Chains A and B, each alone.
Chain A
Amino acid sequence: AQTVTQSQPEMSVQEAETVTLSCTYDTSESDYYLFWYKQPPSRQMILVIRQEAYKQQNATENRFSVNFQKAAKSFSLKISDSQLGDAAMYFCAYRSGPFYNQGGKLIFGQGTELSVKP
Chain B
Amino acid sequence: DAGITQSPRYKITETGRQVTLMCHQTWSHSYMFWYRQDLGHGLRLIYYSAAADITDKGEVPDGYVVSRSKTENFPLTLESATRSQTSVYFCASSDSAWKGGQGFNQPQHFGDGTRLSIL
Contacts and interface: CB of A to CB of B under 8 A. Distances in A.
**Interface size for chain A: under 10, 10 to 19, 20 to 34, or 35 or more residues?**
20 to 34
B43 A44 contact: no
A106 B108 contact: yes
Interface residues of B, number: 28
A43 B113 contact: yes
Interface string A77-118: 000000000000001000101100001111111110000000
A32 to B, nearest CB: 9
Instruction: Specify the main secondary structure of chain A where it touches its partner.
Output: loop
A97 B104 contact: yes
Nearest to B94: A104
A108 B108 CA distance: 12
A35 B105 CA distance: 9
A103 B48 contact: yes
Nearest to B49: A103
Interface of A: 4, 6, 33, 35, 42-45, 47, 50, 52, 91, 95, 97-98, 103-111
